[in-house]
Chain A
Amino acid sequence: MPSAASPPINGDLPRQFASRDALNTLLAQEFPEAEGELSPIRGGREAAEGKLRRIDARRYAKSRNHLKGAVTGLSPYIRHGVLSLAEVRDSVFARIRNRDEGGKLINELGWRDFWQRMWLDLGDGIHDDQEPFKTGHDAGTYARELPADVRAGSTGLACMDGFRDQLVTSGWLHNHARMWMAAWLVHWRRVHWKAGADWFLEHLLDGDPASNHLSWQWVASTFSHKPYFFNRGNLERYSDGHYCESCPSANSCPFEGSYDQLENQLFAPMPAIRDSGNNRNQQRNRQRRSSGGASAALARPKR
Chain B
Amino acid sequence: MTFQRPILWIHEEALGANNPALQAWPDAPAVFVFDTRWIQTARISRKRLGFLYENALDLPLTLRKGDVAAEVLAFARRHQADGVVSSSAVDPRLERIGAAIEAELPLELLDPEPFVELPRPPRLGRFSRYWREAEAVVWEGYSPTR
Contact = CB atoms under 8 A, between A and B. Distances in A.
Contacts of A42: 51, 54
Contact of A93 (B29, B42, B46, B142): B142
B91 A38 contact: no
Given A6-B78, A201-B42, A113 B116 contact: yes
Interface size classification for chain B = 35 or more
6 contacts: A4-B63, A6-B31, A11-B64, A12-B64, A45-B17, A109-B138
Contacts of B31: 6
Interface residues of A, number: 83
Contacts of B1: none
Contact of B115 (A3, A86, A118, A123): A86
Contacts of B103: none
Given A39-B50, A43-B55, A84 B135 contact: no
Contacts, number: 213
Contacts of B30: 4-6
B62 A12 contact: yes
A86 B91 CA distance: 19
B15 to A, nearest CB: 5
Contacts of B16: 45, 80-84
Interface string A14-34: 110000000110011011011
A202 interface: yes
Interface in A127-176: 168, 170-171
B112 interface: yes
A245 interface: no
Given A2-B58, A210-B90, A121 B124 contact: yes
